Amino acid sequence: MNSRLVGTRSERREDAKLLSGRGRYVDDISLPGLLEAAFVRSTAGHGRILSVDVAAARTMPGVHAVLTYADLVAAGAGSRMPLPFPHPAAREGLTQYALAADEVCYVGEPIAIVVADDRQLAEDAASAVIVDVDPLPVAIGCVDAAKDDAPNVHSDRSSNVAAHLSVGFGDVDAVFDAAAHVFSDRVAMHRGGCHAMECRGVVAEYSRHDDHLTVWTSTQSPYLVRRILCQHLGRDEHVTRVLAPDVGGGFGPKANVYPEEIVVPIAAMALGRPVRWSEDRREHFVATLQQRDQIWEVEVAADERGRMTGLRGRAWHDAGAYLPYGVVLPLTALTALPGPYALDAVSVTMDVVHTNAVPTAPVRGAGRPCAAFVLERMADRIAQELDIDPAEVRRRSFVTAEQMPYATGMRYRDGSSVSYDSGDYAQCLEAAVERSGYAGFEDRRRAALADGRYLGIGIASYVEDTGVGPFEGATVRVERSGRVVLTTGAANQGQGHATMLSQICADALSVDLNSIRIESADTGRFPMGMGTIGSRIAVMAGSSVQQAATEVRMKALAVAADAFGVGTQALTIEGGFISVLGQPDQSISLGEIAARLFPTVGGVLPSDVSAGLEATSFFSNGGRIAYAYGTHVAEVEVILDTGEVRLLRYTVAHDCGRIINPAIVDGQIIGGVVHGIGNALFERMMHDDQGQPVNANYGEYLLPMACEIPPIDIVHIETPSPLNPLGAKGAGEGGTIPAAAAIIGAIERALPGTARLLHHPVGPEQLYALINLNSPLTSKISGVAAQLQSR
Amino acid sequence: MKSAPFTYHRPTSETELGELLLAHDGAKLLAGGQSLLAMMNLRYVQPDHVIDLAALAHLKGVMLVNNLAVVGAMTTQAQLMTDTVISAHCPLMVGALRHVGHRQTRSRGTLGGSLCHLDPAAELPAVALCHDAVLEIVSASGRRDVGIEDWFIAYMTPALGEGEYLSRIRLASKPKGHGWGFREFARRQGDFALAGAACLLIVDDEQRISDARAVVFGVETRPRRLSAVEAALIGSAPSAALFARLTSETRALEAVDDAYASGAYRRRLGGVMLGQALTDAARRATGGLA
Amino acid sequence: MSDIRSIRLNVNGVYHEFLAESRTHLADALRKHLGLTGTHLGCEHGVCGACTILADGQPVRACLILAVQAQEMRIVTIEGLAATDKTHPVQDAMAACGGLQCGFCTPGVVASLVALLEEDPVRSREDIREAVSGHLCRCTGYQGMVDAGVKAAAMMQADR
């Protein structure tokens, strides 16, 4: 197969439009008669709604409607929102009402929608809605909320434990009994929000003439939104169209289906006018799903050489007030075990705990960073205790290349065995070690120490399940002009899918990149799709495009062969033309073939050929997962006087299978690492004990900016995956998964003799306190070290 | 996050401004807007009347008058960074401005706005304190001068009464060859400081410190001149040992304790920044940074 | 008590007149009244930089200027940064260096780099990084943007 463009750093086709401000995001959409909405949201962490008085709001200038739960009931949408991903372990799978009914359970929970001529007027009226809430006790913090005596997160449910998950394999007791070493630690991980630069947004337009509802939403999953919306409103899918316009970043939370995606369409239908709601940043902190805490108390078993042999323990996961995304996030964290390690036994249980805060769901990495953080911190513990180089512990513990495909011992939900398809983890680690100058670190450290500077280096590895099914799809169609139209359900939030898929199509069909047009993420243009999550689009949509384009190529060749009276092996296809080898004047364009397959009335199709030069493929991987993997090395300096951490350099070696566009993959990795830097050092979503968010603005919730980023160096290893025609694996999240572990490990190593660093984010004050634990001047701050704080 | 409604005014003369202030109690004065408009977008602040100072030309610009740098309150931070009077007479301010927000906010943010907003972690009030600033306050009933030490009434509360506005700021010029140091500890470039220090040293021909200013900011609810530090510096020769000893003087500060840093840590950071700023000032004072 | 004004703005060399409440910030005026949706809103409190445009050649946060304040300014937005049918070296460099992914923060970043390099194209990498540090990006990790600034600076120096 031709490989002209696949594998090259093709410039992105999306860029020209975006660089000249011609993107069209939800808030850019213009429709005749469009009204703007604002939501009234709970300002209490927990309370019983006594009354919602909208009388004053309804009479304010420019207001067209104010809807509450009563209006949802009248519209037949008064039940709790459907649960998209049920799981047997989630006993109840509690979701919220699209507008709060009689109780609010988190600050930010939507209570009413105001629709007005513009957003300013809508907000004015929203502030005139009087909500009377009788406060109820609030449970914050998942470990505390799991206790029997904790306040009820929901007044009518006495247990806050939404699910009890459990994973494992092997004889854990035997492995630990036989272990030469057993170490235990308590690891606490905080993530944060996705903070895509474009907040969420929904535009809904309803036509009474044909009962057609169109919803534009800043989503990663238009098909899921349609399914849930239709389910909740009792509508048919064929008259409900959901599309994602340009989307300014997703990172996980935009894959959920939200109350606003239900309420805005209801408002549009009630008013007979299109309605838009654009989330603002303050809302984003309380209305869009985020990740918060996971705490793991674990023991690791190792043999006398420091090979990791087993892991067991219990964990707690903060689910927030509801389970809109089921238990996908905590389960993904657990099933990421055993990572790249050939463990003999694993046994971890996890309580998924409700708290009175905004619900949680996957954010870039989706729980895998938590599993990686635990595994890597314990690997470093082994290294420390046995006085072995941390890289060596990894080498001794890795699954080897010879063991591939490797059944880890874990099982998928359907009972089938989890198997790593391919990979050489040790080779990848060596590449990272070499590129990062790991071997020379000791010399650098000593030289710096002579200057009074403290350097540290951390290494962390990961495995990532990518390309989850069941399918994604694409249609490739050639029009009589020669234009190639590629339609797919796959949704894009900046990953350059249009470029990546065009490269695949161009190679498979031997056409120029510029002849291809892409349509995507529109249920009205493509019948079925899944969603952009879990680093799956290159594998799933890319393979669909490969298959569909190849089918079109074959069909075109067959028609041409018939037309020229030769066998297909006597033909060549290039630049949109098929010609007889050695006879360039015997040539026909793809456009002309398309025209022959789409003649006018009375015309004739070539015999034994179906109409149209097009093909559709829904690539399915039969449930098999392609495992990407990598190793990261972080080098840091810790300033003892202040506890500041400076990132000096960062190295990534990774294998995501065959790379379709290295520039795009570089971008995904660097962007992913920067999310990891945020997780390690900066991001902490703080709530007080009444569930009030403390730092819901960008002055106080810290995201990394350009001056905080070190040079990031990447080594690409390409081991084609045997599981799809491209040989590709996913690349969207690998940058994030081990990053916090590498950075925290580096900080710990910069400060030998101080306490273990078993949590993130780590802030300068905590480090300062750890460094100066014995200094009388800082005895007051030493208590901070024991607490989970970001300062 | 749209502001609540208000009536906008844009006076073009001092008289007009005075009348507006008299007519509208509780009106907010709009300078660069980088703090006020953000708070209004968030609806933290919902004034009925906003008076924009942008059209008052006499509030802009820098002049040198009797060895004082006289700065119009509406002079932008970007303008101050490149102003020749400021670089010659108050180089500390140029050094501090590199830490104030970003290019994109300094293009609009003003000296007067920063002095009236009075965030405890702001850089410019500390610079004003180092330069013995005198603030010229104007109202319908007349003019008065407020020395910078009398400007800090309480947390984010300057000595500005109802119907008054800050017109100009007079900064004492420091002698040619004086040393300045400005250091702050912030989580990210451009953020407000967790703690910072601004220092001036005038070193005589015998290499003795003849005058000093040592200000720590971000630690208390206002920037604070450390008189004990200044007293210890004056008459001494600049030395690393002296500076190191003086860093512990910050332990007397009544530091803010909040979700972002404890008081004890702030005091400690203030001391570290003080030591570094003094060192920088000494290097600059004795002719050229080492 | 809405205070509706007739507002006249000079945007990308063209005068526009429209009615809006005085509380309307410049970004909303550009987006909603003038249909110039290339300038984006990411936070509305002056930190993210997505709304950055050029006012008299200086980069400013359009969410922290009232439209009514902008009447005497020469406003240039992303739509007006290059002459028709041409692109600015900053735009070319951003595409060549992976300086954008989702495109949402991009118009603001381009405005800041254009302002920096039009003022003086001789800039260190650190200067360029500092200019980019006034922007939040969740996609690119900033490296491509800084590379783009360096490349654009070289292009603009060569053109002089």
- pLDDT tens track for A336-364: 999 999 999 999 999 999 999 999 999 99
The 10s digit of each residue's pLDDT in B216-236 is 999 999 999 999 999 999 999
Domains in chain A: ranges and CATH: 32-136+194-287 (3.90.1170.50), 367-452+628-790 (3.30.365.10), 469-620 (3.30.365.10)
* Tokens 């009236």, residue located: B116
In the predicted structure, residue B20 carries a pLDDT above the cut 90: yes
Contact C45 B42 (CB under 8 A): yes
Q: Considering only CB atoms, which chain B residues are within 8 Å of A126?
A: none
Sequence letter at residue A24:
R
Q: Which of residues 184-203 of B touch C (CB under 8 A)?
A: 188-190
The 10s digit of each residue's pLDDT in A99-133 is 999 999 999 999 999 999 999 999 999 999 999 99
Residue A469 banded pLDDT, cuts 50, 70, 90: confident
Domains in chain B: ranges and CATH: 7-52 (3.30.43.10), 57-172 (3.30.465.10), 179-286 (3.30.390.50)
Mean pLDDT of chain C: 96
> Best residue in B102, B114, B187 to probe C by mutation, most C CBs within 10 Å?
B102
Chain C CB within 8 Å of residue B34 CB: yes
Chain C CB within 8 Å of residue A713 CB: no
Query: Per the structure block, which two tokens stand in for B232?
Result: 């210890």
Q: What is the pLDDT, as a whole number, of residue A113?
A: 98
Using CA atoms, how far residue A344 sits from A158, A166, A175, B18, in Å, is 38, 17, 7, 81
Mean pLDDT of A745-757: 90
> Best residue in C1, C41, C69, C117 to probe B by mutation, most B CBs within 10 Å?
C69
Spatial separation of the C-alpha atoms in residues A106 and A153, rounded to whole Å:
9
Q: What is the pLDDT, as a whole number, of residue C86?
A: 87
Is B250 within 8 Å of B223 (Cβ atoms)?
no
Contact C45 B41 (CB under 8 A): yes
Nearest Cα neighbor of B168 from B16, B34, B64, B24 is: B64
Residue A790 banded pLDDT, cuts 50, 70, 90: very low
Contact B108 C115 (CB under 8 A): no
Sequence letter at residue A607:
S
Q: Quick one: what percent of chain A has pLDDT higher than 90?
A: 88
Identify the top-confidence range among A20-34, A520-534, C74-88.
Answer: A20-34
The 10s digit of each residue's pLDDT in B188-214 is 999 999 999 999 999 998 889 999 999
Q: What is the pLDDT, as a whole number, of residue A378?
A: 98
- Which H, E and C letters describe A285-348, residue by residue? HHHCCECCEEEEEEEEEECCCCCEEEEEEEEEEEEECCCCCCCHHHHHHHHCCCCCECCCEEEE
Residue C82 banded pLDDT, cuts 50, 70, 90: confident
In the predicted structure, residue A79 carries a pLDDT above the cut 50: yes
Mean pLDDT of A637-664: 96
Phi, psi of A188 (to 5 degrees): -125, 120
For residue A703, what is the nearest residue in chain C, using CA coordinates? Answer: C136
pTM confidence score: 0.96
User: Of B37, B103, B190, which has the smallest distance from its Cβ to C64's Cβ?
Assistant: B37
Query: Per the structure block, which two tokens stand in for B30?
Result: 């709009």
Mean pLDDT of C5-9: 97
Q: What is the pLDDT, as a whole number, of residue C83?
A: 66
> Best residue in A11, A197, A363 to probe C by mutation, most C CBs within 10 Å?
A197
Query: Per the structure block, which two tokens stand in for B8?
Result: 């906008």
Chain C CB within 8 Å of residue B263 CB: no
Residue C134: CB partners within 8 Å, gap ≥ 6? B101, B102, B103, B104, B105, B190, C49, C52, C59, C112
The 10s digit of each residue's pLDDT in B30-44 is 999 999 999 999 999
Buried b / exposed e across B105-143, counting CB within 10 Å, b at 16+? bbbbbbbbbbbbbbbbbbbbbbbbbbbbbbbbbbbeeee
Q: What is the pLDDT, as a whole number, of residue B289?
A: 47
Contact B8 C59 (CB under 8 A): no
In the predicted structure, residue A783 carries a pLDDT above the cut 80: no
Using CA atoms, how far residue A316 sits from A142, A143, A144, in Å, is 6, 6, 10
Report which secondary-structure segment, H or E, holds A675: helix A662-677
**CA distance, residue B39 to nearest chain C CA (Å):** 7
* Tokens 């900046």, residue located: A494
Mean pLDDT of A132-159: 96
Q: What is the pLDDT, as a whole number, of residue A776?
A: 42
Q: Evaluate the CA torsion angle A641, A647, A649, A653 in order and state its sign.
A: positive
Residue A131: CB partners within 8 Å, gap ≥ 6? A40, A42, A43, A49, A51, A52, A53, A111, A112
The 10s digit of each residue's pLDDT in B123-152 is 999 999 999 999 999 998 899 999 999 999
Q: What is the pLDDT, as a whole number, of residue A162?
A: 97
Between A279-293, A396-410, A522-536, the lowest mean confidence (pLDDT) is in A522-536
Contact B272 A119 (CB under 8 A): no
Contact C2 B107 (CB under 8 A): no
Spatial separation of the C-alpha atoms in residues A505 and A544, rounded to whole Å:
10
CB atoms within 10 A of CB A443: 10
In the predicted structure, residue A777 carries a pLDDT above the cut 50: no
User: Of B33, B48, B103, which has the smallest distance from its Cβ to C59's Cβ?
Assistant: B103
Sequence letter at residue A560:
A
Contact B37 C65 (CB under 8 A): yes
Q: What is the pLDDT, as a whole number, of residue A754?
A: 77
The 10s digit of each residue's pLDDT in A188-244 is 999 999 999 999 999 999 999 999 999 999 999 999 999 999 999 999 999 999 999
Q: What is the pLDDT, as a whole number, of residue B286?
A: 75
Mean pLDDT of chain A: 94
Using CA atoms, how far residue A548 sits from A487, A532, C51, in Å, is 10, 20, 41
The 10s digit of each residue's pLDDT in C18-42 is 999 999 999 999 999 999 999 999 9
Query: Per the structure block, which two tokens stand in for A113?
Result: 């929608």
The 10s digit of each residue's pLDDT in B71-90 is 999 999 999 999 999 999 99
Mean pLDDT of A661-689: 97
Q: How many CB pairs under 8 A join A and C?
A: 169
